[in-house]
Amino acid sequence: MSKKIAVLYTGEFRTIEKTIELFKQNVLINDNYHVFAVIQNNNNENIELFVKNAIKCNLKTYINFDKNDNNWINIREKLLNDMNTSESWKNYLMNSGSMIEYYQMYLAYNSMSKYEKENNIEYDFVIRFRTDTVLKDKLNFDWLEYNDDIIRNMLYKIKDKYNLDKIMSIETLKIFFNTFYNEKRIDYMPIPDCDITQATLNKLLNEKNEEQFISHVCEYIKNGNYIISFRINVIYFIKRQLMDQIHLLGVNYGKYVYEKDKDNFWVNSECQFRQICLQNNIDFYSSVTNLEGISLYGYNKNNYFDEDNNLLDTDYSFFIMRN
């Protein structure tokens, strides 16, 4: 049975006219992917019509978001006032997209939840996807049906590719849970920085028997509490029930202190996102390659497209299209 997927499609209009066809091709791969859009465009009716015509039946709700909306401004001001941080950080947050991206996610989540109740359904997974982002490969959820044999082969491929001593290690877990949804990523992804709860590590790494370890990994994919993300918060997907906690970041921003950066950047969007996951005992898996990372601040079309405007099959899974 096909999984029901909710896509929280948020961000500014920006380059959506260039990205939306690839969004449809690689994210909206069948009718079970439902889009809940919150797009910042100051009520431009032409933009709304463009998105609705492009996504068609996959689009379930659409919200025009105005950054000068009074509800948003009141929430933002209260959160900033409550933050124990410098005025320079507060000024940055007021004028950047750090807080507003989670509020848009919050609104999209509420639309999704309302749609579920009205239609007596519940989604299996939730994807958050930025309007200015391109995913190179299709994002399906076939991996939920992986058996022990498939997982064993992947774990040994990782061990050999990264010259690891054994498959039962924290390095293997970090790589595996950032690649099992797209095996190509094993070939070019550096060992990522992840936050895995001690409970998960105890369950998976205390096992002495290799076959039992593989079975536990298989079970964890299906039933574990985790979030998979690209570059921390650019694209992420998570089990539906876990989103009940994560969406609250939209109205609680600044209330989460990421311990690794408590003296520096704890108030930025990445640290807030990681910490709300950790406080809810959600294992946080994130990865980024060089080509993915540089697109955030130095987008160059030639890194991702050939002369015929086809996507290059090189060392990336996503990029942000800035122009």
Determine contact, residues 262/148, Cβ cutoff 8 Å.
Answer: no
Look at residue 286 and give its three-state secondary structure: strand
The answer to whether position 204 is within a domain reads no
Task: Give the contacts of 278 (CB within 8 A, at least 6 positions apart).
Answer: 195, 197, 258, 284
Question: Has residue 266 got a pLDDT over 90?
Answer: no
The answer to whether position 55 is within a domain reads yes
Residue keyed to tokens 């921390």: 232
Confidence of residue 44 (pLDDT cuts 50, 70, 90): confident
pTM: 0.96
Confidence of residue 150 (pLDDT cuts 50, 70, 90): very high
Count CB atoms within 10 A of the CB of residue 118. Answer: 8
Confidence of residue 263 (pLDDT cuts 50, 70, 90): low
Instruction: Give alpha helix (H) positions in the chain.
Output: 16-26, 45-55, 70-82, 87-95, 100-119, 148-161, 170-176, 198-205, 210-223, 243-246, 249-252, 269-279, 290-294
**For 16-39, what is each residue's pLDDT tens digit?**
999 999 999 999 999 999 999 999
For residue 9, the enclosing domain spans 5-140+228-254+287-320
**For 78-131, what is each residue's pLDDT tens digit?**
999 999 888 999 999 998 999 999 999 999 999 999 999 999 999 999 999 999
The answer to whether position 116 is within a domain reads yes
The answer to whether position 212 is within a domain reads no
Quote the tokens at residue 291.
Answer: 């080509």
The answer to whether position 108 is within a domain reads yes
Q: How many domains does the chain have?
A: 1
The answer to whether position 9 is within a domain reads yes
**For 179-217, what is each residue's pLDDT tens digit?**
999 999 999 999 998 999 999 999 999 978 999 999 999
The answer to whether position 259 is within a domain reads no
Quote the tokens at residue 191.
Answer: 């060992």
The answer to whether position 30 is within a domain reads yes
